[in-house]
Structure 1
Amino acid sequence: MATTVVPIFIAFDLACAIGTTAADRAAEQAWPVVDTLRHDPELAGQVRIGVFGLAGPGSYQEPPWASPDIDVSLDDVPPAGRTGRPYAAALDGLRALAALDAAAGPAGPPLMLLITDRQPADDWRTALDDLTRDRPDARLVPIWYAPASRTPPPLPAYPGDVSPRHLYGPEQLQPAAIALAMEHLDAVRDGGHRATGSRAPARRQLPSAQWSGASIPYSVGDPGNAASRVRPLPDPTDWDRPDTVLDGVCLVDDAGVPTLELRAASVRGLSHRYYGTVRQDDYAFRCTTDNRYLVAVVSDGVSNSRLSHRAATLIARDGAATVAAILDRGAEPATLDWAGIARELTDRVIRLGEQVIHRTPDAGPLGCREAAAHLAATALFAVVGTQARGDDVEAHVFSIGDSTAWVLRDGGRWQAQQRLTKVGEAVASASVAAIPLQRPDVEPPVQIRLSAADVLVLMTDGVGDPLGDGTGAVGRFLAETWRRPPVALAFAAQVDFARKSHDDDRTVLAVWRAERHVD
C-alpha cells in the first residue's frame, strides 16, 4: 500500500525580516519543529518540508539553518504581483511552495503554517482566494505571533474553515507548531483528508506518548543580550542559598474546603547570576492555627548590604510567624500594631548582626545604622482572610520599603496598593525604607476587599519596576498569564521573564480565591 506523503510548509511573515534579531529568535523556534518532523523514525518518508521567510517585501529567503532538512525552497523566487503587501506575499509564497511540491509526486493535503506579527495587507483576501482555489485541500493555520512589546493585532475575519491561533512570544511557537503538525498527520492517516493522486492510507495510530509537557523561558519585549548569554555562577560564600525557590499550594479551612490558591517564587536576577552572588530576596507564608487567616511576607535585601539576604530571610520567616502568633492570640488584622512589629523585627536583625558582622572587641553595642550597612531589607506583609464576608474576602497590607502590593482586578486591570512615583516612565517605585528602621515613622496599613475574580500580588521591585503602573507590556503579560493560578514551575518561569535592563532578583507571591481554580 502506498504511503501518503504530507507536505508541511512554514512561512515567516514578520515585520522585521529574517536576519534580524527578533525574527531570528522566532525562526530558531521552528528549527526543532523541522528537526522532529524530518528525523522522527515514525515519520520517515512521510513528510515534505518547505520553510521560508520574507526578506523584506521583495524576495523570499530560506532561513540559513533549514537548508539540509527542507525539500522545497523558494530561494530566488520573487513574490508574484504583491511585493508591496507582505502578508499577501506570504500567502503567495505558500501557494508557490504547493505548486513546486506538486511536481515532486503524489501527496496528501498540505499543512500551511503562516507565522505573522503584522496587520494583514488590504489585498490579503485575494491572495487567500488564489491559494484556496489552487489547493482547496490545504489546511491553512495563521499563527499570530504577538510580541509582548506591542498590543497584539486583532484576528481578522477568516473563512470558517481557517482557524487562526494567537501566541504570546516566540517561545510558544515550537509546541504549537508540533501539535498542529501531529494533529494534521493524524487526520490524514485517519482518513479525515483524501490524498491527491494516490489512495488514502489505512488508519495508522501514532505510538502512545511516553511523556508530555514543556518548559520554556519567557521574555517581554526585547530580552536583551544577557538573557541568553549569562552563565549562572554559584556564590562560593553561601553554597546552601538556592538560586530559585517556589511554592504552589491550595489552602483549606478546618472542614477541608479549599479557600485560597497561593503561588510564590523567588528567583535570582541576571546580575547576581553573572557575578556569582546570592539571591537577596525571600518570602514566607503560613496560616493561623484556626485557618482563618493567611499571613504572607515578601522581603528584598538592600543591594549594597553584603548580608542583606540574611536579613530578608529573617524578616520574611520571623515576620510571618510573629504576625500569625499575634492573630492566634485573638487579635484582629485591623488592630495589629504594625509599628511595634517593625520594631521587633528591627531588634531581631540587630541581634543577628551581632552574630554575623565581624567587629573589633571594643566596638561597643551594635547600632541600627551600622547593622543596616550589612543587614537591611524591605518588608511587605499581607494578612488575607480565608472566610468571605458576603462575596468578598478582606486583606490588610503593610509595607516598609519599595516592595509593592497590587490587586489584579477582573478584566486585567492592575491596581497598586501603595503610592507609586515615576508613573509614566519605564520604571516606577515606591518610597524607599528598610528594616532595621532608622526612623520610627511607618506608613499606615491598607485594607483591601477582594472579589472572587481578583488576585492579590505581592512583589519586590525586580518585578515592580518593569511592571511600572501596570498598563504596559509587562502588565499585559502578567495579567494574561495570571488570570488563573498556573502550576508552580510555570509561575516561577513567568516571574523570571527576560526584559532588557531589568536584571534584579525577582520575588512574587500571589493569592487567588480557590473558586477561580477550575481544572
Structure 2
Amino acid sequence: MNLFNFSRPSSSTSYPDIGTIAIPIIVIILLIIGVLLSLLGIIIKKNFSQKESNQAMDTDDRHDEWQSNNDDSVNKEECQSIRTDSEGPYGYTDEQEFTQSPTDTSSRSRKNLQYNSETNEVPSPSPLHRPEDRLSSITHSPRLNQNQDNSHHPTRKTVKKNRYVIIAEGLKRGIASFGDVKNAPNRDPLIVLSNKDDSYFPGCVADVIVHENLTIGIVAVRGLSHEENKKVRQDSVAFGVSANGRYLIGSIADGVSEAEFSHKGSYYATQKIVKSVRKKLDEGFHPEDLPWEDITNHVRNELRARGKRTFKIAEDAQDQELDSHLAKVIGTTAEVLIIDSKKINDQVSCIRASLAGDGYSFIISNDSMTLLGSGKETPSGDFVLNEKVCALPKDPGPKYPLINQVTISKNEAIFITSDGIGDDISKPDLGIDVYLCDKLAKPVPAYELIKITSYLAFQSHDDRSMIIVWA
C-alpha cells in the first residue's frame, strides 16, 4: 500500500462560462437604456409642443391687438372658429350668427342710386360707406383641434370683418360669407351631367381679357341650390367683337328654374344674341340705333326652330302655343351689353339692353354703386324679387326691350348681371353692394372673379353670372 498515492479530481466536474452570463446582462442594460431614451424623447417633445403652442397663441394675441388698434369695428370676440356640421335643411354648416348691426346703420341701409331714364343721365354717385368702413379681410392659418375628428368636418377658422367673414379651410377657402348661412351646402361639388344626353356642363366659367385699354371680365357660377339638387348651371354667358374691332358685345341669360332644359335655352340665346348684334353692327348700325325688337324677334325665332328640331314638335304648331310650351322647357331671360372701345374725351360709351326677364345692370364709381336698370324695377323705384318672369321665346311684354345708354370714365366700371347677384345687391342690409364695390373697383384676374362671385349669403342659392367692363 502506497501511502503517498493521492487520487486526482474527476475530469467530469464543470464550472459556469463567463460569456453565457454576460450576454443577457448586456441585453438587459440596452433595454433599460432604450426605455430611458424613449421617456426622455417624450418629455422633450411635450415641452417643445407646449412652447410652440404658446408661441402661436402669443402670435394670435399680438395680431388681435394690432387689428383692434387699426379697425375699431373688429374685436377679439368677433374672431371665432366655425366647425361644419351636417345639420339643417341643406346640409351643412352650423355657423354662428353674423348679423350684428353695424355702427352706422344709415350708411348701410342707403338705397342704390338709380338711373334717370327720362334725362338719360346717371346721378353723381355718393360713397356707400366711409373710409373707415372699407372692407378688407385677414385669414388666419387654422390650428385644428387634435382631440376633434376632422376627417369629415374640418375646422374652418374665419375672421369677421365688418359684415362678412372669410372661410379659410376646405374647397370654399377664400369665399366671403354674409349673415346667417346655416342653410348653405358645404359638401364637395358633385359631377352633374346634362339631362337626357348626359353631356357635361361646367359648373363655372370665367375669363378676363384686355381690348383697347379696356378690361372685360366674364363669369358664370353654379348656385348652391343647383349643386344640392344635382342640377346643371342654368346661367350662360357669351362674348364677341365686331368685325372692325371697335364694339364689344356681351350677353348673359338666366334659364328659368322650372324649365328642364333651360341651360340649353340660355346657352343658345346668348350665342344667337351676340351673333345677331354683331351682324347688325357690321352692316353699319350704330349701337344707339340698333333695332332691338328685330333682334329680340330673331332670337325668339331661332329658339323656336331649335326647339322644334330638338323636341320633335310638329312644324305646323302655332307660334303662341309653341312659345308657351318651349318657355316651360327651354325658357330663358336675356341681357346685352355693348361697349364702344373708341374713347371720346376719355369716356366710354355703353349700351345696356334687357330683352326679357329680370336681369340687372350697375355702374361702380367712387366706391359706390349706381343702378342703371332692372327688369324687376317698378315705376316707384322699388323691386319685386318674386316677379314672374316671361321667358323667351314667349313675348317678353310691352315694356321690353329696356334700353339704357350711358358713358363711363376712367376708373369706373359697368356690369350686367342675372338676378342671382342683382337680387342680393338690391338688399342693402345684406352688404353685397358694399362688398362688390370694394372687390370690383379695379380689374381682377379670372380666378378672383370666380371667388368674388361665389360668396355665401343668407337665402342666396341661385346661379350667378356677370359681364363687367373696367374703363
TM-score bracket for this pair, using the shorter chain length? 0.5 to 0.7
Say which of 298, 309, 315 aligns to 2:263.
309
Alignment of 1:243-322 (within 5 A): 243-252=203-212, 259-322=213-276
- 8 Å CA contact 2:235–2:255 kept in 1: the answer is yes
Match of 1:113, as an amino acid?
A: H
Between structure 1 and structure 2, the one with the greater Rg is 2
1:417 lines up with 2:367 in the alignment: no
What's the Cα RMSD here? 4.0
Distance 1:425 1:227, change over 3 A: farther
Contact 1:427–1:466 under 8 Å retained in 2: no
Change (3 A) 1:260 1:152: farther
Within 1, Cα distance between the matches of 2:294 and 2:237?
Answer: 21
**Matched AA of 1:416:** L
CA distance in 2, matches of 1:439, 1:173: 46
Give the superposition deviation at 1:239.
3.2
1:438 aligns with 2:395: yes
Relative distance call for 1:47 and 1:291 in structure 2 (3 A) is farther
Is the 8 Å Cα contact of residues 148 and 474 (structure 1) preserved in structure 2? no
Partner secondary structure for residue 470 of structure 2: strand
The code of the aligned residue for 2:463 comes to: D
Aligned to 2:42: none
Q: Is 2:361 the counterpart of 1:402?
A: no
1:142–1:165 CA contact under 8 A, matched in 2: no
Summarize the alignment of residues 4-23 of structure 1 with structure 2, pairs less than 5 Å apart.
none
> Is the contact made by 1:148 and 1:477 (CA closer than 8 Å) also made in structure 2?
no
Q: Which residue of 2 aligns with 1:12?
A: none
* Residues 317-362 of structure 1: CA deviation (Å, up to 9, x unaligned): 1111210121112110111000000000000000110122255x69
* Counterpart-to-counterpart distance in 1, 2:134 and 2:63: 12
What pairs with 1:199-210 in structure 2 (closer than 5 Å)?
A: none
Which amino acid in structure 2 is aligned with residue 453 of structure 1?
N
AA aligned to 1:467 is I
CA distance in 2, matches of 1:241, 1:285: 18
Instruction: State the SS of the aligned residue for 2:293.
Output: helix
The 1-side partners of 2:421 and 2:365 are apart by: 18
Deviations 1:81-123 (A, max 9, x none): xxxxxxxxxxxxxxxx87xxxxxxxxxx997121799899x9x
Alpha-carbon displacement from aligned partner over 1:407-435 (angstroms, at most 9, x marks no partner): 11222233232365489999747773321
Identity of counterpart residues, as a percentage? 21
**CA separation of 1:331 and 1:167: change in aligned 2, threshold 3 A:** closer
Contact 2:360/2:375, CA 8 A, preserved across alignment = no
Once the two structures are TM-superposed, the CA of residue 504 in structure 1 deviates from its matched residue by: 0.7
Alpha-carbon distance in 2 for matches of 1:376, 1:460:
14
Structure 2 residue 457 is the aligned partner of structure 1 residue 499:
yes
**Contact 1:300–1:377 under 8 Å retained in 2:** yes
**Aligned residue in 2 for 1:384:** 339
Indicate how the Cα distance of structure 1 residues 497 and 115 shifts in structure 2: closer, same or farther if over 3 A, else same: farther
Q: Distance in 2 between matches of 1:150 and 1:355?
A: 54
Per-residue CA deviation, residues 106-154 of structure 1 (Å, 9 max, x unaligned), is: xxx997121799899x9xxxxxxxxxxxxxxxxxx99986998568779
Q: Which residue of structure 2 aligns with residue 223 of structure 1?
A: 181
Aligned counterpart in structure 1 of residue 64 of structure 2, from 98, 111, 114: 114
Equivalent residues of 2:192, 2:201 under 8 A apart: no
State the AA in 2 paired with 1:409: S
Instruction: State how many pairs are aligned.
Output: 345
Aligned in 2, Cα 1:500/1:117: closer, same or farther, shift over 3 Å? Answer: farther
Deviation, 1:240, is 1.9
SS of aligned partner of 1:347: helix
Return the letter of the residue paired with 2:343: A
Alignment of 1:98-497 (within 5 A): 112-114=62-64, 168=136, 172-174=138-140, 216-229=174-187, 231-235=189-193, 237=195, 238-252=198-212, 259-359=213-313, 364=317, 367-399=322-354, 400-418=356-374, 420-421=376-377, 428=385, 432-438=389-395, 441=398, 442-468=400-426, 472-497=430-455
> 2:64 & 2:348 partners in 1: Cα distance?
46
Q: Distance in 2 between matches of 1:509 and 1:356?
A: 29
Answer 1 or 2: higher relative contact order, Cα 8 Å, separation at least 6: 2
Distance 1:479 1:153, change over 3 A: same
Q: In structure 1, what residue type is equivalent to 2:420? A: G
Segments of structure 1 that go 5 or more residues without pairing to the other structure are 1-43, 50-69, 74-96, 99-108, 123-140, 155-163, 178-213, 253-258, 514-519
How many Å separate the matches in 2 of 1:148 and 1:266?
Answer: 27
Amino acid at match of 1:285: F
Give the AA of the match of 1:173: T
Q: Give the corresponding residue for 2:13.
A: none
The two structures have a TM-score, normalised by structure 2, of 0.64
- Contact conserved, 1:117 with 1:145, CA < 8 A, in 2? no
TM-score (norm 1): 0.58
Native 8 Å contact 1:223 1:498 kept in 2: yes
Segments of structure 2 that go 5 or more residues without pairing to the other structure are 1-46, 81-96, 105-131, 144-171
8 A contact 2:347–2:407 mirrored in 1: yes
Query: Helix, strand or coil for the counterpart of 2:389?
Result: coil
Q: For residues 21-80 of structure 1, what are the alpha-carbon distances to aligned partners after superposition, in whole Å with 9 as ceiling and x for unaligned?
A: xxxxxxxxxxxxxxxxxxxxxxx969945xxxxxxxxxxxxxxxxxxxx3489xxxxxxx
Deviations 1:218-237 (A, max 9, x none): 22232233242465351363
User: For residue 462 of structure 1, what is the amino acid of its counterpart?
Assistant: G
Q: Secondary structure at the match of 2:374?
A: coil
Conserved in 2, the CA contact under 8 Å of 1:296 and 1:381? yes
Q: Is the 8 A contact 1:148 1:168 kept in 2?
A: no
